């Protein structure tokens, strides 16, 4: 059949319509109707950030329901043989004025099937969106416009309707993620606010009916500040806010302490639930609260003649300074998905490091070619996709010149696709994690370690870019009574510096400020100009190097508990040193709080004096004796001690960890040593112990005769030689894979057949390569091959060198705790500092180096 027959006009087109059913017959077995649980990716390409709004639109496979941009759909067709795709395209068109003052053009489709955000750069009064869908048959690119109900077979029509009406695969079902389930309050739009002159100070709040200073709510109608009840977030209170509603009928209240530029917690007493208030900024401004700048003035209005208080938010985001936007490769912003700024700040920093650029972007063709059938569930594919999105410049283009805008829009407007949305990436890397999978704000340091762990577990061949962060810490523990010592080593990825508050250089100013603050709080006046503690970096470094007491220390020299002290030194220096300032602590209510301090972080850092020295002459080592096991007094108990049953281990937690890719025995040890406290606690144990030599060895418990193995715990019997079941090996080899590859894949995935197949597709190296401890890599991808090969399987791979470093980036946090606030990153590129604030990427004028949270240093070549 000629393609022209399908796209003729008039009579020819009608004749072609009758042939559509016949045309689709060979492909009918490959066309599926999405079932419950199927994810339909119709908003974003699996390999890039192309979408229906992009120039080439998006192709959705009618079998796997994966989405592909024009550049990648051919790869999927060649790899899978799948021929039928739905092509989705969003057009931006100019409205045609009519007699009624703006008649709307006729839509090409009656159905709005794309759940995409509109382009904020367009004037909605002049432009609108028009969506288009059609089936495309590869390799000849036959196109069938949709809807085409009469001509298409019923199965195809049902499948198309199901794809078009499907919901986003990222719609949260987790009950903990209540943020995404909030509804707009029916009172938000019509809320009446009384003009009674009430102005709310930024701190010093107290319930107007009692003395409570916690769990306070601001009524958005009359400005009353009243205590809450446990009904909303579990906090205590006397319920005065609810009583006020019952008495006055004022429905909406906002929780004080939750107001940030990103939003606030709003509760509706009438609707009896947490709600969204789209007009929250306006409602707060009524009481003198500038939500966007976190700035409160005494009269509620900004007075240009009065110098505004400079807050942490303004300094770190460089507010009030005209910043020049940056465009091109390496200057791409990331959309905030709702408290996802911690992720953006870490990833922008990570992908400014050459080793990560080479590992993922440099290997992009290879990673994409060997990605599993579902690339949305492959870490390396998603890292390569994200790295390319940030570094290619494809999504960071300067705006069009003003004189060309009108002409271009009249022809066909092509929206600027600036910035990327890490929705698919976040969904994958946070899967199964109770915190990162939620919409709550998180600690950037914890996410950094989580990301490094994922990099470690998903190495590309023998290449591991996280090697640049890894270093060895030597811990020297000394018994204070016998003076004997023990030296041990552990692996770490960042240096945690304590804040030496006692070393503040402006103590007199701090005391005066605290007195003024208390006076203002008592008089319900705005607080005085903020005074931050100025902490010398040298004092923090000194606090890091000082000995610390070891709690519950058992001295093997004394065979008893004693006082002990521990000091830490660097047994090796990493290529890139990550320094965390430990600003976060816990209040009396166990709520995380932040120390608002200024630390004079140096541009050049020399820590060679912290190099470990090992056992020194004259030092005597503590005997290598384990603490005694307490044996029961009952002889029967002593007799049964050797033959007792294996310890109780929560197998569900074990399986949850094993599915993440950790060795089975390591998972069992993690669950056992954390007292069956759940997978999350066990996961933290794994992170802390994964570099230990016996990490994957079977669990051995003192007093229990033998090791505790999976055995008959429902995980499948494993022989003494750890050989996978022969039937599984035969099944994989029947698919055309070599026997040694099948065995290796099954061993690597704990005999999980599905995971083994994914493992094979994501590890295309020949067996002889993957078994070697020094896999051959492209020279350009591994300039440190000798260092890595020397490490082999002797221990953790490190890149030791000089301890002299230069600052190239830092991540800053604004807010009172890790549970709230906002993150931005500053990076030094091409000789100047650049600020990355979600989608905004600008040249930095005043980089706030003293207010950072996590600092990144690169080694200075010696």
Sign of CA dihedral 119, 124, 128, 129: positive
**Contacts for 736 with CB less than 8 Å, ≥ 6 apart:** none
Residue with tokens 């790899």: 79
| Residue 842 marked in a binding site | no
Are 810 and 836 in contact by the 8 Å Cβ rule? The answer is: no
DSSP tally for the chain: helices H, then strands E: 26, 33
**φ and ψ of 315, to 5 deg:** -65, -50
| Residue 341 annotated in active site | yes
What is the C-alpha separation between 675 and 671, in angstroms, rounded? 6
- Token pair for 39: 């994810």
Comparing CA positions, the residue from 191, 176, 180, 177 lying closest to residue 271 is 191
Give the DSSP letter string of 114-154: ------TTS-TTTEEEEEEEEEEETTTTEEEEE--TTTS-H
Query: Beta strands of 248-326 (E only): which ranges?
Result: 252-255, 266-268, 273-276, 289-290, 295-296
- Token pair for 774: 């020094």
The conformation of residue 279, written as its DSSP 8-state character, comes to T
What is the C-alpha separation between 97 and 507, in angstroms, rounded? 68
Three-state DSSP at 576 gives strand
Residue with tokens 């061993």: 747
| Residue 826 marked in a binding site | no
Residue with tokens 């029961």: 632
What are the CA-CA distances from residue 347 to residues 289, 386, 431, 601 (Å)?
33, 9, 17, 22
Compute the CA torsion angle 277, 279, 283, 289 (nearest 10 deg): 100
Query: In what helix (H) or strand (E) does residue 424 lie, and over which residues does it extend?
Result: helix 423-429
Give me the helices (H) in 137-223, please: 154-164
Catalytic residue among 341, 479, 540, 842: 341
Are 257 and 816 in contact by the 8 Å Cβ rule? The answer is: yes
What is the C-alpha separation between 527 and 515, in angstroms, rounded? 10
The packing angle between helices 679-689 and 664-673, to 10°, is 110
What is the C-alpha separation between 457 and 517, in angstroms, rounded? 50
- Token pair for 465: 């870019």
| Residue 210 marked in a binding site | yes
β-sheet bridge partners, residue 593: 585
| Residue 240 marked in a binding site | yes
Sign of CA dihedral 348, 354, 355, 357: positive
What is the C-alpha separation between 294 and 276, in angstroms, rounded? 19
Compute the CA torsion angle 444, 445, 446, 451 (nearest 10 deg): 80
What is the C-alpha separation between 143 and 86, in angstroms, rounded? 9
Comparing CA positions, the residue from 475, 463, 472 lying closest to residue 493 is 472
What are the CA-CA distances from residue 821 to residues 296, 544, 606, 665 (Å)?
17, 27, 32, 39
What is the C-alpha separation between 544 and 567, in angstroms, rounded? 9
Catalytic residue among 72, 283, 450, 822: 822
Tell me which residues are annotated as active site: 341, 822
Binding residues for Zn(2+): 207, 210, 227, 240
């Amino acid at each position: 059949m000629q393609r022209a027959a399908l796209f003729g006009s008039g009579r020819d087109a009608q004749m072609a319509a009758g042939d559509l059913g016949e045309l689709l017959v060979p492909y009918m077995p490959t066309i599926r109707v999405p079932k419950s649980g199927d994810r339909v990716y119709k908003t974003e390409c699996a390999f890039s950030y192309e979408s229906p709004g992009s120039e080439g639109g998006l192709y959705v496979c009618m079998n796997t329901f994966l989405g592909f941009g024009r550049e990648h759909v051919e790869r999927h067709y060649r790899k899978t043989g799948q021929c039928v795709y739905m092509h989705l395209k969003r057009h931006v068109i100019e409205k045609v004025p009519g007699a009624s003052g703006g008649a709307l053009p006729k839509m090409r489709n009656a159905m709005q099937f794309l759940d995409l955000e509109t382009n904020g750069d367009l004037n909605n009064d002049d432009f609108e969106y028009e969506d288009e869908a059609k089936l495309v048959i590869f390799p000849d690119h036959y196109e069938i416009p949709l809807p085409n109900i009469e001509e298409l077979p019923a199965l195809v029509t049902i499948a198309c309707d199901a794809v078009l009406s499907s919901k986003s695969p990222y719609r949260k079902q987790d009950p903990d993620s209540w943020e995404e389930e909030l509804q707009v309050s029916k009172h938000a739009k019509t809320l009446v606010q009384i003009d009674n002159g009430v102005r709310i100070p930024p701190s010093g709040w107290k319930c107007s009916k009692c003395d409570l200073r916690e769990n306070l709510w601001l009524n958005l109608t009359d400005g009353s500040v009243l205590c809450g009840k446990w009904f909303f977030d579990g906090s205590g209170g006397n319920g005065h806010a609810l009583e006020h509603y019952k008495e006055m009928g004022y429905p909406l209240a906002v929780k004080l302490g939750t107001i940030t530029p990103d939003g606030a917690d709003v509760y509706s007493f009438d609707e009896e639930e947490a709600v969204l208030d789209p007009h929250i900024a306006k409602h707060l401004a009524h009481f003198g609260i500038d939500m966007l700048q976190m700035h409160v003035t005494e009269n509620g209005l900004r007075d240009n003649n009065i110098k505004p208080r400079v807050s942490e938010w303004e300094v770190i985001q460089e507010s009030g300074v005209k910043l020049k936007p940056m465009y091109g490769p390496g200057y791409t912003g990331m959309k905030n998905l709702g408290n996802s700024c911690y992720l953006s700040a870490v990833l922008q920093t990570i992908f400014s490091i050459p080793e990560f650029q080479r590992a993922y972007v440099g290997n992009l063709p290879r990673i994409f070619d060997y990605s599993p059938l579902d690339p949305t569930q492959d870490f390396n594919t998603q890292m390569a996709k994200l790295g390319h999105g940030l570094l290619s410049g494809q999504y960071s283009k300067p705006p069009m010149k003003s004189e060309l805008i009108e002409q271009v829009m009249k022809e066909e407007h092509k929206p600027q696709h600036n910035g990327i949305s890490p929705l698919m990436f976040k969904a994958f890397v946070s899967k199964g994690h109770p915190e990162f999978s939620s919409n709550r704000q998180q600690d950037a340091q914890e996410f950094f370690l989580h990301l490094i762990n994922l990099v470690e577990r998903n190495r590309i061949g023998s290449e591991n870019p996280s090697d640049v962060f890894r270093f060895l810490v030597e811990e020297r523990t000394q018994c204070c009574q016998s003076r004997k010592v023990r030296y041990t080593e552990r692996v770490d990825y960042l240096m945690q510096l304590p804040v030496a508050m006692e070393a503040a250089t402006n103590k007199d100013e701090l005391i005066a400020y605290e007195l003024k603050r208390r006076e203002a709080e008592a008089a319900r006046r705005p607080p005085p100009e903020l005074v931050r503690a100025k902490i010398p970096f040298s004092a923090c470094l000194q606090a890091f190097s000082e000995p610390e007491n070891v709690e519950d220390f058992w001295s093997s020299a004394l065979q008893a508990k004693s006082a002990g002290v521990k000091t830490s030194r660097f047994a090796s220096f990493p290529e890139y040193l990550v320094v965390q300032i430990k600003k976060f602590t816990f209040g009396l209510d166990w709520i995380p709080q932040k120390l608002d301090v200024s630390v004079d972080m140096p541009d050049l850092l020399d820590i060679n004096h912290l190099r470990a020295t090992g056992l020194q002459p004259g030092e005597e080592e503590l005997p290598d004796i384990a603490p005694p096991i307490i044996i029961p007094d009952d002889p029967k108990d002593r007799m049964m001690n050797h033959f007792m049953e294996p310890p109780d281990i929560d197998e569900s937690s074990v399986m949850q960890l094993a599915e993440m890719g950790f060795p089975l025995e390591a998972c069992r040890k993690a669950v056992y040593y954390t007292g069956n406290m759940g997978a999350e606690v066990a996961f933290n144990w794994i992170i802390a112990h994964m570099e230990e030599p016996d990490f994957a060895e079977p669990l051995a418990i003192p007093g229990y005769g033998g090791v505790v193995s999976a055995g008959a715990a429902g995980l499948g019997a494993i022989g003494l030689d750890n050989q996978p079941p022969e039937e599984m090996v035969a099944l994989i080899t029947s698919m055309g894979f070599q026997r040694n590859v099948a065995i290796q894949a099954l061993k690597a995935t704990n005999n999980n057949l599905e995971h083994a197949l994914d493992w094979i597709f994501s590890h295309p190296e020949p067996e002889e390569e993957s078994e070697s401890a020094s896999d051959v890599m492209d020279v350009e991808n591994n300039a440190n091959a000798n260092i890595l090969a020397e490490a082999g399987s002797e221990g953790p791979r490190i890149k030791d060198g000089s301890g002299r470093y230069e600052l190239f980036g830092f991540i800053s946090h604004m807010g009172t705790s890790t549970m709230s606030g906002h993150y931005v990153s500053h990076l030094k590129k091409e000789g100047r500092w650049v600020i990355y604030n979600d989608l905004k990427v600008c040249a930095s004028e005043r980089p706030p180096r003293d207010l950072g949270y996590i600092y990144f240093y690169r080694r200075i070549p010696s």
